[in-house]
Structure 1
Amino acid sequence: MNGLQRIALFLTIIGALNWGLIGIFQFDVVATLFRDGQASFAARAIYTIIAIGGLLSLGALFMPNRTHRVVKDNVRPLKSV
């Protein structure tokens, strides 16, 4: 996972936590941070950045699983002394 994917995953987690707070407690953290609530430009910008992070994280869903195989070349068994 590269740096951009980690940032996108972090933003997606932040967005999911915010939605969880909205669903459980009806408390929107992003809207609370700004005076105008959801209508403020800053809140809309944060929502947009989190949405872009979610779209970038969506690409990880379709990545093939990468398994690391250990190749044992030129390995001889230990001789008992």
Structure 2
Amino acid sequence: MRKLAIILVIVGALNWGGIGAFGVDLLGNVFGGTYEVLSRMMYFTVGLAGIYLIMTQKLENKSD
């Protein structure tokens, strides 16, 4: 699960980098537009992956 979350967060980071550097929304372009249902589902999934990694990292740090 963690590996999938890391991959999704990397995808999200590359997407934000593309928006910042070139004004290109890669996920939006791939999935039919920024406000299309499939694109929004991908954005949501990437966001959940980020939250998952934040939460699991905090739990790992407490156990050290």
Pick one of 17, 20, 31 that aligns with 2:17.
20
Measured on the aligned residues, the alpha-carbon RMSD in Å equals: 1.9
Pick one of 57, 61, 65 that aligns with 2:57.
61
1:51 has 2:47 as partner? yes
Identical-pair percentage: 29
- TM-score, with structure 2 as normaliser: 0.83
5+ residue gaps, structure 1:
68-81
Q: Using the alignment, how far apart are the partners of 2:61 and 2:13 within structure 1? A: 24
Higher Rg of the two aligned structures: 1
TM superposition outliers: structure 1 runs of 4+ over 6 Å: none
Match of 1:38 in 2: 34
